[in-house]
Amino acid sequence: MLKKAQDYLSMKGIENPRLTAEILLAHCLSLKRIDLYLNYDRPLNERELSTYRSLLSRRARHYPLQYLTGEVEFYSSRFLVAEGVFIPRPETEVLVERVKEAIEGGAMVADIGTGCGVIAISLAKIFPLARFYASDISEDALRVAKDNAVKTGVEERITFLLGDLLAPLKGLEGKLDAVVSNPPYIPQDELGNLPDEVRLYEPKAAIDGGKGGTEIQERIISEAWPYLGEGGILALEVGDLQSKRVMSLMERRYSRIEVFPDLNGIERVVMGRKAQG
Q: How far is the C-alpha of 187 from the C-alpha of 189, rounded, in Å? A: 6
Q: What percent of the chain has pLDDT over 90?
A: 95
Structural domain includes residue 126: yes
Residue 70, domain member (yes or no): no
Do 138 and 171 sit in the same domain of this protein? yes
User: Which pTM does this prediction carry?
Assistant: 0.94
Reply yes or no on whether the pLDDT at 2 is more than 80: yes
260 is catalytic: no
Are residues 13 and 119 located together in one domain of the fold?
no
233 within domain boundaries: yes
Tell me: the pLDDT tens digits for 6-16?
A: 999 999 999 99
Is 73 a domain residue? no
When pLDDT is averaged across residues 49-73 and rounded to a whole number, the result is: 97
Residues 132 and 39 in one domain: no
For residue 31, is it within any domain? yes
pLDDT digits (tens, 9 = 90+) for 83-117: 999 999 999 999 999 999 999 989 999 999 999 99
Residues 95 and 23 in one domain: no
- Per-residue model confidence as pLDDT tens digits over 130-150: 999 999 999 999 999 999 999
pLDDT tens, residue by residue, 202-223:
999 999 999 999 999 999 999 9
Q: Which residues fall within 8 angstroms of residue 175, CB to CB, at 6 or more apart?
A: 108, 227, 229
Is residue 170 domain-shared with residue 270, that is, in the same domain?
Answer: yes
Residue 277 has pLDDT above 60, yes or no: no
**Do 156 and 235 fall into the same domain?**
yes
Same domain for 101 and 46, yes or no, is no
pLDDT of residue 231: 93
The question of whether 182 is a catalytic residue gets the answer: yes
Q: What is the pLDDT of residues 171-190, one digit of tens each?
A: 999 999 999 999 999 999 99
pLDDT at 157: 97
Residue 175 sits in a domain whose CATH number is: 3.40.50.150
**Is residue 239 a part of any domain in this protein?**
yes
**Mean pLDDT of the residues in the chain:** 96
Regarding whether 243 and 115 lie in a shared domain, the answer is yes
pLDDT score for 124: 98
Same domain, yes or no: 55 and 99: no
The parent domain of residue 6 ranges over 2-61
Residue 37 is assigned to a structural domain of this protein = yes
Instruction: Report if residue 66 sits inside a domain.
Output: no
How high is the pLDDT of residue 70? 97
Total domain count, the chain: 2
Reply yes or no on whether 17 is catalytic: no
Residues 107 and 203 in one domain: yes
270 and 134 in one domain?
A: yes
Same domain (yes/no): 226, 155: yes
| % of residues, the chain, pLDDT over 70 | 99
Considering the candidates 74, 79, 86, 132, report the single residue annotated as catalytic. Answer: 86
